[in-house]
Amino acid sequence: MRLNGSLTAGLRRTVGRPPWLTRGMPTVGSKATGLRSAASRLRSAVPPAVVLALAAGYLAADLGAALDEPAAGAVPASVTAGLVALQALALILRRRNAVAVFAVVVAIDAVLLGTSGGELGAGALAAMIASYALTRSGELRIRYQVLVCGAVTTGVVSAVAMAAVGAYPLVAVVAVAVVRPLLQYAAPAVLAEFLLARERLVGALRDRAELAERERLRDVEREIVEVRTAMARELHDIAAHHLSGIIVGAQAASALVTTDPDRTRAMLRTVQQDARTTLADLRRTVGLLRSETADTTASSGQPAPVPSLERIAGLVETATGRGQSVVLEVVGTPVALGPLAETAGYRMVQESLANAARHAPGSPGRVRIEYLPDVVRITVHNDASSAPATTRDERDDRGYGIPGMRERADLVGARLTTGRLPDGAWSNELEIPRETDRRDS
C-alpha cells in the first residue's frame, strides 16, 4: 500500500498538478469547459460584430450627410450599409459552411464594387474574414479553388468598373485589379496557414510530450513489477528453503526425542541455526526494500552472506544435518561467475533441496557442479520417493519454486531443465554460460 501511495504521489507531481488541485475535478472541469465554450462563442461573434459596426457607420454617415455622392452608378449609403449588414449576417455561419458564406460575401462585395466604380471597399473587410475562415476549414484543394475564383471575380469586377468610369489610367486599373485580390484573399489565406501550421506544431509537441509521459509511466510501472517480482522470488527462496529445513528438523527431533536424546538435541540446534539464518536473510531483504544497508546482521551479530556457488557446500551440509541424504560432487576447477549467475545457481540448489525435503523425504540425493569450458552445469538429482508420483508435480505446478528458478535463469541467459525421469527420480539442471561473468559483473 505504501508503494502504491508513493507511485500515485509521484504521478501527481509528474503531471504538474498539486494534490489540492485534483479535488472536485468533475465540478471544476465542467466549469472550465463551460468557460472555454463561452469564450469560443464570444471570439466567433467578434468578426460579424465588427462588420456590422462598419455597416452602422455607413448608415450613420448617410443620416448625417457626411458622405459625398459617389461617382457613376452611385447608390445611397443606406443601401451600402444594408449590403454590408448582409455580409455580417452571413459571416455568423462561416464555421458551418465556409464555402457558401465566402460565395455570398464575395458576391455582395462585387455588387458594392460595381456600383461604386471600383472605388468603394466597404465589403473588403467581410471578404478578408471569409477568406480567413475558408482557409482554416475544408479540404485544401477545394478551398484554394474557391479562393482563386473569388480573387478573379473581385479583380475582374474592379477592373471593369474602373474602366467604365474612364477616369483612371490603364496602369492604375491593372494595379488595383491585382493588389485588391492580394489584400482581400492572399494575405488572409497566408495568415490562416501560418496560424494553422503553428497550431499543428503545438499539437504535435503536446502529443509527443503526452506520449513520452505515457512511456515514462509505463517504464515506472514495469520497473515496479520487476522489483516486486525479484523481491517475491527472493523471499520465496529464503522462506521455502529454511522453513522446510526447520519443519523437517522439528519432525525428526520429535521422532527421536524418546529414543535418541543426544541426536534430538543436535537436531534442535540445527533448527535454531536455520531459524537464525532465515531471520538474517529476511532482515537483509527488508533492508534492501527500505534502502538501508544490505548487510543487516542477524541476532548473532554476523552479516548475512551473499549467495554464491562456494556456499552450495554449506547448503548440502545443512541439508545433511537435517537428516537428508545428499552428496556434493564438484568436477573441474571452480571459477567465479557474475553476482546474478552465482545467485541463480545458489538459489536453484537451495530450492531443489527444499523441494526434495518436502516431496521426497528420505530419498538419496546428489548435487553435482561441473565447471566446463563453455558452461557451468549444476545438477540436483534425487532418487524416486515412496510418495505418490502426482504429489510433487501438483504441488510444484501451484507453487513459485520452479517459476522462480526459470526467472533467475532467464536473467543470466542460462538454461534450466526440470522434470521427472523415467525411473521416477527428479532432476533439476541449470547450465550457466561462462561469459555470464562478464555480462553481469
Pick the CATH number of 309-441 from 3.30.565.10, 1.10.8.60, 3.30.70.330, 3.30.230.20: 3.30.565.10
Longest dimension (CA), the chain: 136
Kindly tell me if the per-residue pLDDT of 168 is higher than 70: yes
**Cross-strand bridge partners of residue 330:** 369
Q: Whole-angstrom Cα distance, residue 105 to residue 87?
A: 5
Q: What is the mean pLDDT of residues 277-292?
A: 61
Residue 62: its pLDDT value, please? Answer: 66
Q: What is the mean pLDDT of residues 24-53?
A: 68
Residue 305: its pLDDT value, please? Answer: 61
pLDDT digits (tens, 9 = 90+) for 343-369: 888 888 988 888 888 777 778 899 999
Is the C-alpha dihedral spanning 232, 234, 235, 236 positive or negative? Answer: positive
Per DSSP, helices labelled H in 136-186 are 140-165, 170-181
Q: Whole-angstrom Cα distance, residue 134 to residue 193?
A: 11
What are the φ and ψ backbone dihedral angles of 44, each rounded to 5 degrees? -65, -30
Q: What is the mean pLDDT of residues 72-91?
A: 79
Query: Hey, where are the domains in the chain?
Result: 31-215, 309-441
Q: In what order do the strands lie in the sheet with 375-382?
A: 326-331, 365-371, 375-382, 426-433, 415-420
- Other C-beta atoms within 10 Å of 92: how many? 15
Q: Where is mean pLDDT largest: 101-115, 158-172, 269-283, 354-368? A: 101-115
Q: What is the mean pLDDT of residues 55-62?
A: 76
Q: Which of 93-97, 208-212, 404-408 comes out lowest in average pLDDT?
A: 404-408
Q: Which long-range CB contacts under 8 A does 92-97 form with residues at least 24 apart?
A: 92/45, 92/48, 94/47, 94/129, 94/130, 94/133, 94/134, 95/44, 95/133, 95/137
Kindly tell me if the per-residue pLDDT of 296 is higher than 70: no
The C-alpha angle 261, 267, 271, rounded to 5 degrees, equals 140
Percent with pLDDT over 90 in the chain: 11
- Other C-beta atoms within 10 Å of 153: how many? 17
Region class of 145: left (phi > 0), else alpha (psi between -120 and 50), else beta: alpha
Higher-pLDDT residue of 201 and 28 is 201
pTM recorded for the entire structure: 0.45
What are the strands, taking DSSP E only, across 143-280?
none
Higher-pLDDT residue of 23 and 278 is 278
For residue 116, give the amino acid letter: S
364: cell is: 538419496
43: cell is: 471570439
Q: What is the mean pLDDT of residues 197-220?
A: 88
257: cell is: 526425542
Average pLDDT taken over every residue of the chain: 76
Q: Which of 11-20, 213-222, 233-242, 311-320 comes out lowest in average pLDDT?
A: 11-20
Kindly tell me if the per-residue pLDDT of 314 is higher than 80: yes
